[in-house]
Amino acid sequence: MSSLKCTSCDVEFPDEEPRWRCECGGTLDIKIENIFPKKLLGSRESSLWRYKESIPLKNIKNKISLGEGMTPLRDFPFAKMEIQCKLDFFFPTGSFKDRGSTVLASKLKEWEIKKVLGDSSGNAAASIAAYTSLADIECDMYVPDNTSEIKCMQISAFGANLKKIKGPRQSTTEAALRETKHCFYASHFWNCWFNHGTKTWAFELWEQMQQTVPDSVIIPVGHGSLVIGAYKGFKELMDAGYSDKLPKIYAVQTKNCAPLVQIWDQKLTKIPEIRLNSSLADGISVSKPVRWKQIIEAVHETDGELFAVEENKIGLILKYFAKQGILMEPTCAIPFLGLKELLDSNKISKKDIIVIPVTGSGLKTPEKLQQFF
Tell me, what's the pLDDT at 278?
87
The one-letter code for the residue type at 183 is C
Give the pLDDT confidence of 222-275 residue by residue, as tens digits.
999 999 999 999 999 999 999 999 999 999 999 999 999 999 999 999 999 998
pLDDT at position 170 is 86
Residue 16 is assigned to a structural domain of this protein: yes
Residue 62 lies in a domain: no
DSSP state letter for 194: H
In whole angstroms, give the CA distance from residue 160 to residue 115: 10
Residue 187: inside a domain: yes
3-class SS string, 285-321: CCCCCCCHHHHHHHHHHCCCEEEEECCCCHHHHHHHH
**Pair 152, 228 in one domain:** no
- 223 with 335, same domain? yes
Please check whether residues 205 and 307 belong to one and the same domain.
Answer: yes
Domain contains 64: no
Which of 144, 172, 192 terminates a domain? The answer is: 192
Same domain, yes or no, for 362 and 233? Answer: yes
Same domain, 105 and 182: yes
Query: Do 198 and 188 share a structural domain?
Result: no
Does 226 share its domain with 288? Answer: yes
Pairwise CA distance, residues 98 & 201, whole Å: 11
For residue 323, what are the contacts with CB-CB under 8 A and spacing of at least 6? Answer: none
Burial class (CB in 10 A: 0-12, 13-18, 19+), 291: buried
Domain boundary among 145, 164, 192: 192
Closest to 339 measured CA to CA, from 77, 71, 73: 77
pLDDT of residue 19: 95
Question: Into how many domains does the chain fold?
Answer: 3
In a domain, residue 50? The reply is no
Distance of alpha carbon 22 from alpha carbon 12, whole angstroms: 9
Which segments of the chain have a pLDDT < 70? 1-2
Q: DSSP code of 328?
A: B
**Predicted pLDDT at 2:** 65
User: pTM for the whole thing?
Assistant: 0.96
172 and 296 share one domain: no
Domain co-membership, 210 together with 312: yes
Q: How far is CA 251 from the centre of its chain?
A: 12
Phi and psi, residue 257, nearest 5°:
-160, 95
The sign of the torsion formed by the CA atoms of 290, 292, 298, 304 equals positive
Answer yes or no: do 178 and 233 share one domain: no
Q: What is the CATH number of the domain that holds 169?
A: 3.40.50.1100
Q: What is the predicted pLDDT for the residue at 126?
A: 96
Domain that holds residue 183: 98-192
Same structural domain, 210 and 278: yes
Contact of 135 with 105, CB cutoff 8 Å: yes
Dist. CA 239–CA 237, nearest whole Å: 6
Q: Are 185 and 198 in contact (CB under 8 A)?
A: no
If asked whether residues 180 and 301 sit together in one domain, one would say: no
